[in-house]
Amino acid sequence: MEDKIIRTEYSEIMQKSYIDYAMSVIISRALPDVRDGLKPVQRRTLYDMYELGIRYDRPYRKSARIVGDTMGKYHPHGDSSIYGALVVLAQDFKMGIPLVDGHGNFGSIEGDGAAAMRYTEARLARITQEMFLGDLDKDVVNFVPNFDETEKEPEVLPVRVPNILVNGSEGIAVGMATNIPTHNLGEVIDAVIAMIRDSHISDEKLFSMIPGPDFPTGGIIVNKSELPEIYRTGTGKIRIRGKVELEKGKGGKDRLVITEIPYTMLGANIGKFLNDVAALAETKKTTDITDISNQSSKEGIRIVIELKKGADAAYIENLLYKKTRLEDTFGVNMLAVANGRPETMSLRSVLEYHIDFQFELATRKYTSLLAKEKNKSEIQEGLIRAVDVIDLIIEILRGSKNQKMAKDCLISGVTDGINFKTAKSKKMAAALRFTPAQADAILDMRLHRLIGLELEALMEEHEKTLRNIDTYTDILNNYDSMANVIISDLKACKKQFAVPRRTRIIDADQTVFEEKKAEDIPAVFLMDRFGYARLVDEGTYEKNRDAAEAECRYVIPCMTNSRFCIFTEEGRMHILKASDVPLGKFRDKGTPVDNMCNFDSRSEVIAQVFLYEQVTGSELLFVTKKGMVKRVPGSEFDITRKTMAATKLSEGDTLAGIYIMDDSQWIVLQTRNGYLLRFPMEEIPVYKKGTLGVRGMKLSGTDQVETVHFLQNSSQEAEVGGRKVVLGRLKIGKRDSAGSKVRS
């Protein structure tokens, strides 16, 4: 067999392959379908439980059995994704209405994971069985082949409530993500009913029925006025707070008790919140918090923060909102798959898609039921007719040689080969015209149906069938009748499964919090050559002045509310607050600068440290090891960010030094190879921080600038190659010259 070589552009193959992969993730993995609000893995898991008969009124089954069966039949993407979906479907703190009834350890609100699937058990929740899977046997949705075409699975579940709103959804696809909040089942049903009755209902009326999300963890939404715009566009940010109550403790001490948390604080974020509150006390952001304890249980959340006597509880509450995740934002992005394509939807469009889906389900359901009732009516009519001529039918059966002969006689009046007692019977038999279905029913009829009461029951059943046919025909031919049926189902669902709203919705101002400034007292900043920093008070420093200057690389008098500018050889500047530096004893080791600002000792080397006010109120001189120089106004470094690029450097260049300018008129650059260049300070231009500067000195080979001298007087000396050099006697040169070499 000859090889077939196809020549094509590589980029085209990559592009097509990536697009195919992206669409597969978007449609078949990460995003929910707007019709049933489920991702494929959730849909397949619920359908598999339905197929296995794990109903709400039957015993639980091992989760491992459900996971294995789902993976083998419908979802060949690993057991972890299936079990993860099953666990979430059973968690009442994540789902607006849980769809799975879990038995065993299915995790906790504090982030504890579920037990292994071999230990837990599950079954369908009642609402899932009745409102999600109840009509699957009525040909209401299309079934498609599974991954290996050995089974059939539903394209979508016939969900009768807007599950995409009730339970929300979150998922990350390729280039897009969805994050839909949960809503209250009763409110959503009311909105659907109102929209069925009036498709042109105003947005304002819809928003009055669905005022906002309803999170299973409760909490308080505090930007009510912004919700209508979020629902119109399908995107936006919801601000949500935890619920805080003030309780009186012993000895006149108050305590703040958090009884509801923001939905975004679920899981490990509760532990992070506790750590953040403890950090507020440790870093002296507040001295009024004496203890924090998590007393949460199965009954609900209870986080207790003990306060000092006389503490301002309102101030502490605002501090928690501002500095922790007790107030957080939920980013709404109502993205779902509609008609096979991802679409960002408004609240109205979600409801419209749902209502269209309900009418489609109802049409298919009642078309199927009508066909069944018509078939039933046909058979019932045949049986009723058969009872009237039962003696003739018995005669036909006794006179026939086989079943086919009898059936042909019943259907077409064919009497050939049948022995009749009388010619009259043969004539009557020739006039019979039962349908094939009626003939089969007559041949299968049992003798007890000839009893009088049975005949009456058959007549009553036929009348009921005729009424059903009239009802189903009316539903299919009349919009209002179909709408009433859908509304009736929704009302029954609301009555049985709706729960009271858990999340309050208000309009509250943005948290205004003015941090109480700590007392500004004199101190001294000490940092050793390893980057460990600490503050000591003035008295401690004076007692240990000599040791401090001998052991520390930087000794800077400051105030406890001062800020420092840390310049690195790589050309960056980091801001360090003195309030973040621990105030301690002289012999304390201190804290690494890495832990207190954005400086990273693994990739950066500290070049210089200045007081922030000293930098912004002066002019700085930048000198690089490749001989580039420039002066920069200190106002360039007056920033609010914690980190910035302090200067631009050419490739492979680093800073030799950063200096605060003084009134010196001369500058001397000294290189590693012993070259010195003296030139006027005025030859160095003033540039912005984002420039390279100009060349201050020509360097040969691998030589580099090592030291910079500001010439204060003619007798000033420097050590070069082991000998003293009087800088004032150096020949005056020009910037961008090579300088002169000092002979050792």
Give the residue from 585, 587, 533, 578 showing the smallest Cα distance to 555.
533
Amino acid identity at 16: K
Q: What is the Cα–Cα distance from 257 to 294, expressed in whole angstroms?
A: 10
If one compares 193 and 413, the residue with the highest pLDDT of the two is 193
Query: In this structure, what are the phi and psi dihedrals at residue 489, rounded to the nearest 5 degrees?
Result: -65, -40
Q: What is the mean pLDDT of residues 408-414?
A: 85
Predicted confidence at residue 22, as pLDDT, reads 67
The band of 5, judged by pLDDT with boundaries at 50, 70 and 90, is: confident
Q: 414 or 215, which is more confident?
A: 215
Beta carbons of 209 and 198 less than 8 angstroms apart: no
Please give the pLDDT value at position 662: 87
Determine the Cα angle at 327 with ends 324 and 328, to 5°: 95
Query: What pLDDT score was predicted for residue 498?
Result: 94
| pLDDT at 207 (0 to 100) | 94
- Report yes or no: 483 and 196 within 8 Å, Cβ to Cβ: yes
Q: Which two tokens stand for residue 85?
A: 């979906």
Residue 451's pLDDT is 63
- What amino acid is encoded at 697 in this protein? M
* Alpha helices, H only, 478-591: 479-497, 538-543, 545-551
Query: Beta strands of 612-696 (E only): which ranges?
Result: 619-624, 628-633, 643-645, 655-660, 666-671, 675-680, 694-695
DSSP for 324-340 reads STTEEEEEEE-EEEETT
Using the CB atoms, write b or e for 384-423: b if 16+ within 10 Å.
Answer: ebbbeeeebbebbbebbeeeebbbbbbbebbbeebebeee
Q: Nearest to residue 320, comparing CAs of 261, 253, 248?
A: 261
Give the C-alpha distances (Å, rounded to integers) separating 113 from 200, 215, 268, 300, 351: 46, 21, 10, 18, 35
- pLDDT tens-digit profile of 156-193? 999 999 999 999 999 887 778 899 999 999 999 999 99
165 vs 160, 334, 362, 415, CA distance in Å? Answer: 12, 9, 21, 66
* Confidence class for position 385, pLDDT limits 50, 70, 90: confident
Judge whether residue 611 has pLDDT over 70: yes
Task: Tell whether the model's pLDDT for residue 513 goes beyond 70.
Answer: no
pLDDT of amino acid 452? 58
Span 502-522, mean pLDDT?
A: 74
- Half-sphere exposure for 619 (CA within 13 Å, toward CB): 14
Least-confidence region, from 73-82, 146-155, 436-445, 555-564: 436-445
Close Cβ partners of 24 (under 8 Å, ≥ 6 residues apart): none
CA separation for the pair 73, 293 (Å, rounded): 47
Roughly how many angstroms between the first and final C-alpha of the chain, as a whole number? 83
Query: What mean pLDDT is predicted for residues 362-386?
Result: 90
CA separation for the pair 148, 166 (Å, rounded): 33
**Average pLDDT over all residues of the chain:** 89
Closest CA to 259 of 248, 272, 269, 246: 246
DSSP string over 88-123:
HHH-TTT-SS-SEEEES----TTSPPPPPTTT-EEE
* pLDDT at residue 493 in the model: 95
CB atoms closer than 10 angstroms to residue 221 = 26
Taking only the tens place, the pLDDT of each residue in 538-585 is 999 999 999 999 999 999 999 988 999 999 999 999 999 998 888 888
pLDDT at res. 664: 86
Q: Where do runs of H (alpha helix) occur along 184-325?
A: 185-197, 203-209, 227-233, 268-282, 313-323
- Among candidate residues 376, 382, 373, 454, the one with its CA nearest the CA of residue 411: 382
Burial of 298 (0-12, 13-18, 19+ CB in 10 A): exposed
Catalytic residue among 18, 21, 119, 479: 119
Helices in 611-718 by DSSP H: which ranges?
A: 612-616
Q: Distance between CA atoms of 124 and 128, rounded to whole angstroms?
A: 6
Please give the full DSSP string across 291-309, using - where no structure is assigned: EEEE--BTTB--EEEEE-T
> If you ran DSSP here, which 8-state letter would residue 685 be given?
P
The SS3 assignment for 379 reads helix
Residue 533 in contact with residue 596, Cβ under 8 Å? yes
Stated pTM of the model: 0.71
- What pLDDT is stored for residue 340 in this prediction? 86
Q: What is the pLDDT of residue 693?
A: 92
> Which band of pLDDT confidence, cut at 50, 70 and 90, is reported for residue 63?
very high
Read off the pLDDT band of 259 (50, 70, 90): very high
CB 219 within 8 A of CB 242: yes
Least confident range of 91-95, 134-138, 513-517, 677-681: 513-517
119 is an active site residue:
yes
Domains by residue range for the chain, with CATH: 38-158 (3.90.199.10), 243-325 (3.30.1360.40), 353-496 (1.10.268.10), 517-561+568-605 (no CATH), 617-744 (2.120.10.90)
Pairing of strands 572-577, 643-645: antiparallel
Q: What is the pLDDT of residues 435-464, one digit of tens each?
A: 888 888 888 877 666 665 577 888 888 999
The CA distance from 553 to 632, in Å, is 25
Using pLDDT thresholds of 50, 70 and 90, give the confidence band for residue 511. Answer: low
- Beta-carbon contacts of 739 under 8 Å, excluding residues fewer than 6 positions away, are 669, 671, 675, 676, 677, 678, 697, 733
Residue with tokens 């080969």: 417
Sign of torsion over alpha carbons 59, 65, 71, 74:
negative
- Widest Cα–Cα separation across the chain: 152
